[in-house]
Amino acid sequence: MSKFIEAEALNGVGEFHQLFELPIEAKPIIPSQDRCRLRINLLQEELDELKDAIRDNDIIAAADAFSDIQYVLSGAILEFGLGEKFSRLFEEVQKSNMSKACETYQEALDSQGWYLKEKNTESTIVERNGKFLLYRTEDKKALKSIKYYAADFESIVNS
């Protein structure tokens, strides 16, 4: 997979927030209910635009919606005081998500056995890029390795 050049979303939105005197919190907080409601409404508005773009098969409108979602989301991250920590938060969720893949075939077999015994769920193992992935036979849903671990957001937010 090629590497993507990531937009400087938080810095750009931070510049906008400073110019328009919108909140940028230095420490993690839950803003006022009014501000939270605004943030949710803004995100929902952009998600609705994305739904419309998909319905209309309009890639330009989809690109607009994705850009707006990222912009509004970045503003929320800053307003919730998570700007300084967000890179680490994202790295943590990435590691957690990648731990869903099995590192070895034996780990995949053990995971497959666990799902069959504990959940009565049949699965298939697929090797991809040196990892072993488990899929539920019934609907091809990806299943987690027995070595999966949840993201630890608390230690990052509280640091």
pLDDT of residue 136: 98
List b or e across 99-134, with b for residues whose CB sees 16 or more CB atoms inside 10 angstroms.
bbbbeeeebbeebbebbeeeeebebeeeeeeebbbb
E strand or H helix at 102 = none
Query: DSSP letters of 11-38?
Result: HHHHHHHHHTT----SS-----HHHHHH
Span 9-84 CATH architecture = Orthogonal Bundle (1.10)
Each residue of 76-126: pLDDT tens digit?
A: 999 999 999 999 999 999 999 999 999 999 999 999 999 999 999 999 999
Q: What are the extents of the domains in the chain?
A: 9-84, 97-157
120: region left, alpha or beta (phi > 0 left; psi from -120 to 50 alpha): left
Q: What is the pTM of this model?
A: 0.86
CB atoms within 10 A of CB 3: 5
Rounded CA gap, 8 and 116, in Å?
45
Would you say residue 3 has pLDDT above 90? Answer: no
